[in-house]
Chains A and B, each alone.
Chain A
Amino acid sequence: MYQYPLPEGLTPTDKNKLSNYWPIRNKGNDFDWETITGVVLSLALRKQVKTYELTDYQEDCKQRFFAKLDEPEFWTVLERSYFSSQALYNISPLFLLFKARGRQSGRLDASAPDLRLCKLFAGLMGNFFLQDALDDHLNFVEQEMLSVLRKNLQPGTAIENDEHPYLPFLNKVFREDIEFLAKHPQYLLQALPKTLRLYAFSYCAQLALNITDWQEPKSRPLYFILETEKASSERTSVKRSGYKLLAAACERVFPLLSALDALQLPEKPARPLWQIYQEALEYYDQPKLLNELNTYLQAFIEKRELVPRAEAHDVSEAFEQLKELAIEQFRDARTTRGGVNKKYVKELEQQLLSDFIQARGAAGRTLVLNQDQVLLLTNLTIGKADKLRLHELRKGFEQRGFYLDNQTLQALVDFYERMGNVERMSDSGDAVYVRKTL
């Protein structure tokens, strides 16, 4: 590899800064999920309303219906039904694009936290988009309304992706899920916001679990129980690879991602840590790279007043040092750094993880899926297929970052049986098929 993998003249920054791959800051993390849903839809469709306002649209509709109705007075009925309430957004997902309006400048008109979360989803989407327009099945009045909207849609999106994917495995399933939802617009309307919450969780959790590894990330075990189940400390997977594992992993995210920020090349798409590591190992002039890294690390130690250590002997060792130092600086009780990191973790838990965490008596805090989340996950995983074997369903859950132990799986089957969406082929446990319930 000839491209030098690090910025020229790498020097430690004064402050730990975080601008890529993470939607959470140490404060100011209120998300407006409607906006975010609108933006994701705009990303998927590569369509936007730009500066077209809802009031402009209402006026255009009025003109259209005045021309079509033999009793123009009926327009007031339509106005009352579709515009005086939020009912417009229930007609077709396309109307959600109004939630993702742009500014005159072309930039997205959204708050900073929303922009960050949108960036996360833009990253998950990558260069993927839906080839076919949403096939809405509407009555003739709604069709007229939709066609007024369609005429005013413009190509493009108000937000660009400038990151190489951190979790390629999650990108893959996310695209599949969006593609599946797009085939069922009415289901998409109710399921997309919940799907995005699911993925926001899964992205943060899996990134945290993968961040100390140098290989391309893969789905890491993280065990959930169903809301209706009892948590018991005897369940080893749930105990070992559950909430505690996640909480510990989250503490390493800000240190490592902010260390990563310093390594990004200016004006180039951001790269994940594991990718920079791999590019560095493949770089043809290892001595030069090692030398620069060592210089950087020594300067870093000095600047952050960390315990001195010997220079690394090769590039891979240098990266190990980078990792250790990045984490070590936050253990320093003399500075406020530790407190900042704690805020990052706390904000993450409150804003994006809390839907999935419950305090369960003696078992303590536990990762939990409620019925809605389970059903959504089931439908997404079955996706294009009519039905899946239980075994495959479980694998699909795991690809999305949700692991269930055998006991939970049994509770899941019982739940499906009450719902009536299982088919048994025989009395044997694994010959169970699960159907979608849209």
Chain B
Amino acid sequence: MSSVTLRKALGVLAKSSPFSVKTTTERPRDIYDDLKDYLYIKPDIELDFERVLSSLQPGECVFLCGSSGDGKSEILSRSYERYKQRYHFHLDATHSFAPHQSAIEALDELFDKRAEDNRPLVVGINIGMLANYAKEGHARHIELRSVIERFLEEGIRSEGQYRFLDFEAYPKFRFNDESECYSGFVRQLCQRLTEPSGENPFHEIATKDELREQDERLTANFRLLGNPRVQDAIITTLFKTRLIKDQFITTRALLDFLHQLLTGEFFLYDNLFLGGSNELSQKMLEFDPALIHTQSIDQFILRYELSLPDPELDEFMAGLSKLGIRYDGSRDGQAASMLRLFYLLKKCEVGNNYHHQFGADFEELLLERYASVWLMHGEYDGTPEKQAALRNFYMKELIPAIFTYANRHATELGKRELLLGQFGRCKVAAPLDLKVDFKSIHNLHVEKHDSFSAYLKVGEQALRPMEIGLNLFELITKINSGYRPNKYDKNAIILLDEMVEQIRTVAKDSTSLKYYEGAKVYRLEQDDGMITVEGAF
């Protein structure tokens, strides 16, 4: 082991390493196998999968579905040895059995064999492939195809002889994770990798490197990653890419991401935000703290780049060097790097804690507010305290945003009136009693990992729920603070438009209408087939 450096040892994490793809091989074990095995964290889906396998009956069939890099093959191969005599395993459903055969035909053939052989079948399959099979598989497998269809459409995970285990049902990131951050999985992974204990081969190797003063930036990065507060900042950034950029985060991508953070060209905080070849890093560019502009941050940049005297900063830098972080040479363009450092260490104690003065600039207000509203929906139990919290969001944020958006071309409308349309110079509006539907929140709430459903009603008529993700949540906040979306702003607007359309349909049934013509307002009331008009002519 003595000859292995930390850089080489960490190589097992990279997506370019042979370890990133699970294959069955007869190669003799070496130190890298041990390193990789040490890092393995058994995911919850594996526990459930083992439970299902232990009780499979003849003729039954299990699908383990996920994205490429989720760890399907890893899990399958761990069970393979134990069950290979009794069950039939099909590891890679995108492979065909012959050159002329398509993957769909290969699956057809696989399911044909199942009819001959009553052994339980275990299939690892990409979820996209599964969806393709449901549409394009042969007609003779129509029964199975419709079972798959129902699993995909309605989430029925168990039907007749079929079971589905889906990685999407075991999110690595969640608002209500038990660990005190958004991802217990990433937390565990970082801890295991960096834990300063004799059990941890990576720690042993790092210690040797440190003694030899070899690859100092790498060992500094490695120790930084061991800090739980640093882990928090990394996990939060990852979660934001999931929520805002809809990025899929697979295990393989995560391991490669950690590899890049540690072994990249710069210190960890720069590696985190400067892109690089990793698919996750690519999406993080826009979360770069160096893009934040507040008065205190801009002042810091000026002071720093002009090398104005700042004894407190000098003292802080001395503290930093204890962590192996040293800056020397020109300060040109280095302020951005300092800001990333401040961001990453915002909750850590370093030297005189110079960086804490920017704490407020780096707060994740949006994400935290979203997380709290997300939780409120799940925790709602009908009690007045919980109701008050929810009401606050609906009455002060969601409903005002909907009205502001719907009436954006008719600012003269009264409160609680909805614009139905403009005809000539006349704007037609109807009164609208839009309220929170507490009963539906209580009865119909289903936990979703990256969004929640808002329930509204008009009068007593319940509306279809409105799915609110972080993007739409941000838009709502922005609308309330004066932002006017335009048609090129389509991303989250579609959902808002759908809601407005729905409400408008209901509002058209109103028995009272208002016509706004310039400064004049007429109020129409439908009553027993007659129409009464109020307003001066």
Contacts and interface: CB of A to CB of B under 8 A. Distances in A.
B423 A82 contact: yes
Nearest to A416: B490
B531 A427 contact: no
Contacts of B152: 425
Interface in B485-535: 490-495, 501, 505, 508-511, 513, 515, 517, 522, 524, 526, 529-533
B497 to A, nearest CB: 8
Interface in A383-438: 389, 391-392, 417-421, 424-431, 437-438
B254 interface: no
B248 interface: yes
Interface stretch (A71-79, A123-131, A210-218, A349-357): A71-79
A82 B531 CA distance: 18
Interface stretch (A12-20, A111-119, A133-141, A303-311): A133-141
B255 interface: no
B102 interface: no
A77 B515 contact: yes
Contacts of B526: 140
A148 B245 CA distance: 51
A68 interface: yes
A77 to B, nearest CB: 6
Contact of B511 (A140, A428, A438): A140
A90 B531 contact: no
Contacts of A428: 67-68, 126-129
Interface residues of A, number: 40
Contacts of B532: 70-71
B326 to A, nearest CB: 39
A55 interface: no
Contacts of B208: none
A87 interface: yes
A80 interface: yes
Contacts of A71: 532-533, 537
B150 interface: no
A36 B244 CA distance: 45
B158 interface: no
Contacts of A425: 127-128, 131, 152, 168
Interface string B424-458: 11101010000000000000000000000000000
B132 interface: yes
Given A71-B533, A418-B491, A80 B127 contact: no
Given A81-B517, A85-B423, A424-B246, A70 B531 contact: yes
Interface in B56-87: 66-69
A427 B68 contact: yes
B135 interface: yes
B132 A391 contact: yes
A139 B428 contact: yes
B359 interface: no
Contacts of B533: 69-71, 74
A139 B423 contact: no
B426 A141 contact: no
A420 B513 contact: no
Contacts of A81: 423-426, 428, 515, 517
Residue from B493, B513, B524 whose CB has the most chain A CB atoms within 10 Å = B524
Given A419-B491, A420-B494, A426-B128, A82 B530 contact: no
Given A140-B513, A141-B524, A389-B135, A87 B127 contact: no
A394 to B, nearest CB: 13
A84 interface: yes
B250 interface: yes
24 contacts: A68-B529, A68-B531, A70-B533, A76-B537, A81-B428, A82-B423, A82-B424, A87-B422, A90-B423, A138-B508, A139-B509, A139-B510, A141-B428, A141-B513, A392-B135, A418-B491, A420-B493, A420-B494, A421-B494, A425-B168, A427-B69, A428-B67, A429-B128, A430-B132
Ranked nearest first, the 4 interchain pairs of A and B with the lowest CB-CB distance are A431-B128, A81-B426, A426-B67, A428-B128
Given A77-B517, A141-B428, 9 more contacts: A70-B533, A80-B426, A80-B517, A90-B421, A141-B531, A391-B132, A420-B490, A430-B132, A437-B490
